[in-house]
Amino acid sequence: MLTFLAFAMIVSFIVLLSMKKLSVFNALTLVPLVFGVIAVFATGATMSDLFSWIKDGIFYTVDYEGQSTSMGVISPGLTILFSILYFDLMLGVGLFDPVAAFFIKMAKGDPLKVLMFSVMAASVVSFNGDTTTTIIICTSAFINLYRQMGLKLIYLAIVIVAPIGIWNQLPWGGPTIASATAQGIEVNELFATLLPSLLTAQVAVIAITYLLGKKERKRLGWSAEDAKAVSPEQLDQMIAAVRDKDVELKRPKLFAFNLVLTLVAVVLLIQGEIHGSIIFMLASAIALVVNYPKVEESSQRLEDLAADVLPTAVITLGAGVFSGVLTGSGMATALANFIAGIIPTQLSSHMAPIYAVIATPAVCFLPQDAFYFGIASVMKDVMAQFGISATQAAVASMVGQSFRLVSPVIPALYMLCGECKLNFTDFMKEYGKYYGIALLVLYLVVYGVVGALPF
């Protein structure tokens, strides 16, 4: 009975999200509430037990026999709240503007340089973890240059999204937080495991972009003399797309301070000795008082950023209801035992890479929260039965991020394809051909070499 309820709950959650019948927050809270009530009657539990399951999923559970505590979603929820706040502040003050402008200036009409600096600019801007913002800024900065030079706009599209797919996996990125939350591990711990592969992937993306740039040089018959065709006025126009966005919020005189503050915060986060929420809460307070010293300005920035900060944090906390009911009711264990029972024993030693490959299309085509909170949270228990730790299961679930940035459920991609006059299917094919498959294989290899993904 519990196995059936678990399947029904997960499928209902995914279908309601995919059909847009419920918002992510409502689906994460109301669907498990309904199935939790059914589980109460099916197992002979009480309504008090139901609310205890929810409380445990949000806050923490204590194993008195094992003398251990398992944190709920409150830990990553607070981290995402303050990390999004901090990086939105940094985006507003213009921390990433000089680097992006530098890349634009250095290109000077060379197709190879244009593609290389496009991918570097996208890499830098995507550090804030926001897909839509990165696409808007990079498309605005480069699309006119691509058109003027006759470069393939589909290359601009895939060059922009390739690094986003990598750096969305930073500790403040949605996939990493969702995966860590679903597996019941700390974001810092997961990120430290992911980092070697992310750095390798960035190198691979730059190398692939270099080859695309060489192809464009050959196709266009470019020579060194052609570099003179781009006027200073054209360069200024492209830089203005970055420089003049929300100019009233910029603080160019405080660039050095904001850069140092950000580097200190990131280093402390990677070290893992201080909880991420504390780091970014304090860093946000410092950033506000330095960049916007007037009380009115500081308060206004908090109000303006609330629309970006609160939804993701609220969704993360809502996930505690889903995971709490799924785990506390026994549905997760029942489903895990069922799945483990149908897996051939001869495949048990290879379950981590098999799971990673199978999960890739799910990561691409399902809403992110539907996959991590609806499927990955259950697969954690299945993997455990094959000796795979929660961290290793989380890593396996992250391999599919190689194709996440061609997902049809990401609205910003339709905006990108519209600006570049692309058919979405063609965009998916080109990305997969040049970046997607290469990154999928690279992730599997690197994670296997460093021991993060047991083969």
CA-based radius of gyration for the chain: 23
Tell me phi and psi for residue 69, to 5 degrees: -125, 135
pLDDT for res 454: 83
The answer to whether 54 touches 321, Cβ cutoff 8 Å, is yes
pLDDT for res 310: 83
Residue showing tokens 């008195």: 64
Q: Helix axis angle, 424-431 relative to 153-167, nearest 10°?
A: 60
From CA 105, how far away is CA 148, in angstroms rounded?
Answer: 15
From CA 363, how far away is CA 350, in angstroms rounded?
Answer: 20
Per residue of the chain (455 residues), give pLDDT as tens: 888 998 898 888 878 877 878 887 898 899 999 999 999 998 889 999 999 999 988 887 776 665 666 677 788 778 778 887 888 898 789 887 776 677 667 766 688 988 998 898 899 888 766 677 778 778 877 887 788 778 899 999 999 999 999 998 888 777 888 888 888 888 888 888 999 999 999 999 999 999 999 999 989 887 766 556 666 776 777 677 667 777 888 998 999 999 999 889 878 876 778 888 899 899 999 999 999 999 999 999 999 988 878 877 787 788 888 888 888 888 877 876 776 666 665 666 678 888 888 888 878 776 677 678 777 877 877 788 788 888 888 999 899 899 988 887 676 787 788 888 888 878 888 999 999 999 999 999 999 998 888 87
pLDDT for res 298: 93
Which of 150, 45, 90 lies closest to 305 in space, CA to CA? Answer: 90
> How many CA atoms lie within 13 Å of 412's alpha carbon, on the beta-carbon side?
16
Q: Which helix (H) or strand (E) holds 11?
A: helix 2-18
> How many CA atoms lie within 13 Å of 126's alpha carbon, on the beta-carbon side?
25
pLDDT for res 101: 72
Which residues face 60 on adjacent strands? 71
pLDDT for res 202: 95
The answer to whether 283 touches 89, Cβ cutoff 8 Å, is no
The answer to whether 31 touches 54, Cβ cutoff 8 Å, is no
Judged by phi (left if over 0) then psi (alpha if -120 to 50, else beta), residue 84 lies in: alpha
The amino acid at residue 394 is A
The DSSP line for 266-316 is HHHHHH-SS-HHHHHHHHHHHHHHHH--SHHHHHHHHHHHHHHHHHHHHHH
Ordered by start, the domain boundaries in the chain are 75-164+221-309
Q: How far is CA 231 from CA 98, 124, 157, 238, 241, in A?
A: 20, 25, 24, 11, 16
Which of 341, 394, 388, 440 lies closest to 175 in space, CA to CA? Answer: 394
Three-state secondary-structure class, residue 359: helix
Return all residues near 254 (Cβ < 8 A) that are at least 6 apart: 93, 290, 291
Per-residue tokens: 179: 């995966």
Query: What would the pLDDT profile of 144-186 be if each residue is shown by its tens digit?
Result: 778 877 889 999 999 999 999 999 888 877 788 888 888 888 8
Residue showing tokens 């503007």: 97
Residue showing tokens 């992250």: 398
From CA 288, how far away is CA 71, in angstroms rounded?
Answer: 30
Sign, CA dihedral 145-151-157-163, equals negative
- DSSP conformational letter for 251: -
pLDDT for res 141: 74
pLDDT for res 39: 93
pTM over 0.95, yes/no: no
Which of 107, 320, 356, 346 lies closest to 234 in space, CA to CA? Answer: 107
